[in-house]
Amino acid sequence: MNGLRPWRDIARRKSRQISVGSVKVGGDAPISVQSMTNALTSDANATINQIRELEEAGADIVRVSCPDEESTAALKEIVRAVKVPIVADIHFHYKRAIEAAEAGAACLRINPGNIGSADRVREVIKAAKDHGCSMRIGVNAGSLERDLLEKYGEPCPEAMVESALDHARILEDGDFREFKISVKASDPFLAVAAYQGLADACDYPLHVGITEAGGLRSGTVKSSIGMGMLLWSGIGDTIRVSLSADPVEEIKVGFDILKSLGLRHRGVNVISCPSCARQQFNVIKTVERLEQALAHIATPMSLSVIGCIVNGIGEAELTDVGFTGGGKGTHQVYLNGVPAHRLQDEDIVEHLVKLVEAKAAEIEAKKAELADAAE
């Protein structure tokens, strides 16, 4: 069914749904946002603190590496201390996978084709089933199987899809279908083509990301192009932005990508102009300070901060709280799209923060009222 603005509709690919602990992935579940810790997993306290920071930023799922026994030993304490489901990242060592499942991991990131004999695969599948774990098959262009590289000559979309389906078949043969798949590459062209091929070839939920995308700015741009292209075409059930930056930034960028596509809303969507000689207050500084001061708000809502009346009125009409620069230091504040009051230069940030907080509280109260009425 077309929405009010059909040019904004995204028809999501129909995928089967799996559970990563309490979070549903695939089907009609909201697209979840993940990141990964980089503290030593064996240092449970450091890892717990990092996961809590990620929870605060809105992470739905967090992945931790389990390279050794000390890590899977710490996992038990970690899982107990945090709210989000934990994915244990395993490479090669099937025993770590079994230990992680026993320790309470919600999901194992493991490629069954890499862990050796059929017996080992059977053991891992049994541990996952016994402990209610799902799995993620994670194909990476940088670590494709040698036979596929020989067959195709280089990492290409077809080789990545074949690798993913080979791993999937191993799990299917073990009567296990609670898994999602990723086919990541640092080259967005390769990643996008591989995900498109995989999306056509199966109905498993897809974990989407551009791997090793780079630093905060370049990685954000690359991820937005690659993941944006996929999400816009309806592909992707859970996402991770990979940045050489604080993992909290990955969560923020992930939500910003989803927000830009209208796929998920969290926090204040700030609409602001780049500013020019017509600005009636310092737009850039004001927006910088506002973004910091409003980072704690999770309620989806919009705020426009526009330097002058050229675009200020039109944008304010479409936002929950609007602010438009006016002549002689007298600016206009809008609430729910209509002019509310004037404001002088001095206290723009403090004033807008108060208004946004009040609006967020109002939206939450309304939500609670509706939920009560529905019960």
Do residues 206 and 192 lie in contact, with contact meaning Cβ atoms separated by under 8 Å? no
316 binds ligand SF4 (CB under 6 A): no
149 binds ligand SF4 (CB under 6 A): no
276 is in an annotated binding site: yes
Out of 306, 316, 333, 356, the residue judged to bind ligand SF4 by CB under 6 A: 306
* Cβ 356 to ligand SF4 shortest distance, Å: 20
* Cβ 287 to ligand SF4 shortest distance, Å: 11
Stretch that binds ligand SF4, among 109-117, 200-208, 261-269, 275-283 (CB under 6 A): 275-283
Q: Which of residues 278 and 296 has its CB atom nearest to ligand SF4 in the complex?
A: 278
Sequence-distant (6+) residues with CB within 8 A of 367 are none
315 is in an annotated binding site: yes
* Cβ 315 to ligand SF4 shortest distance, Å: 8
Q: Which of residues 17 and 311 has its CB atom nearest to ligand SF4 in the complex?
A: 311
* Cβ 309 to ligand SF4 shortest distance, Å: 7
Tokens linked to 263: 């796929």
Stretch that binds ligand SF4, among 4-12, 213-221, 309-317, 335-343 (CB under 6 A): 309-317
* Cβ 288 to ligand SF4 shortest distance, Å: 15
Q: Which of residues 269 and 279 has its CB atom nearest to ligand SF4 in the complex?
A: 279
66 is in an annotated binding site: no
Q: Which of residues 236 and 307 has its CB atom nearest to ligand SF4 in the complex?
A: 307
Q: Which of residues 121 and 321 has its CB atom nearest to ligand SF4 in the complex?
A: 321
342 binds ligand SF4 (CB under 6 A): no
Q: Which backbone phi and psi does 128 adopt, to 5 degrees? A: -65, -45
274 binds ligand SF4 (CB under 6 A): yes
Place of tokens 């309490």: 22
Out of 135, 258, 308, 343, the residue judged to bind ligand SF4 by CB under 6 A: 308
Sequence-distant (6+) residues with CB within 8 A of 368 are none
202 is in an annotated binding site: no
Please state, as a whole number, how many other Cβ atoms lie within 10 Å of the Cβ of residue 155.
Answer: 21
279 binds ligand SF4 (CB under 6 A): yes
Cα angle 6, 205, 197 (rounded to 5 degrees) comes to 80
307 binds ligand SF4 (CB under 6 A): yes
Q: Which of residues 196 and 279 has its CB atom nearest to ligand SF4 in the complex?
A: 279
Stretch that binds ligand SF4, among 117-125, 185-193, 300-308, 362-370 (CB under 6 A): 300-308
How far is residue 97's CA from residue 163's CA, in Å, rounded to a whole number?
20
CA distances from 35 to 63, 169, 216 (A): 6, 27, 14
How far is residue 35's CA from residue 262's CA, in Å, rounded to a whole number?
21
CA distances from 161 to 15, 202, 208, 240, 314 (A): 16, 10, 14, 19, 46
303 binds ligand SF4 (CB under 6 A): no
Residue, CB closest to ligand SF4: 307
**What is the total count of residues that contact ligand SF4 (CB under 6 A)?**
12
* Cβ 307 to ligand SF4 shortest distance, Å: 3
Quote the crossing angle between the two packed helices 216-232 and 188-201, to the nearest 10°.
30
Stretch that binds ligand SF4, among 36-44, 150-158, 199-207, 269-277 (CB under 6 A): 269-277
Q: Which of residues 125 and 283 has its CB atom nearest to ligand SF4 in the complex?
A: 283
- List, as residue ranges, the binding site: 273, 276, 308, 315
- List, as residue ranges, the binding site for [4Fe-4S] cluster: 273, 276, 308, 315
**Which residues of this chain interact with ligand SF4, rule CB under 6 A?**
273-276, 278-279, 306-308, 310-312
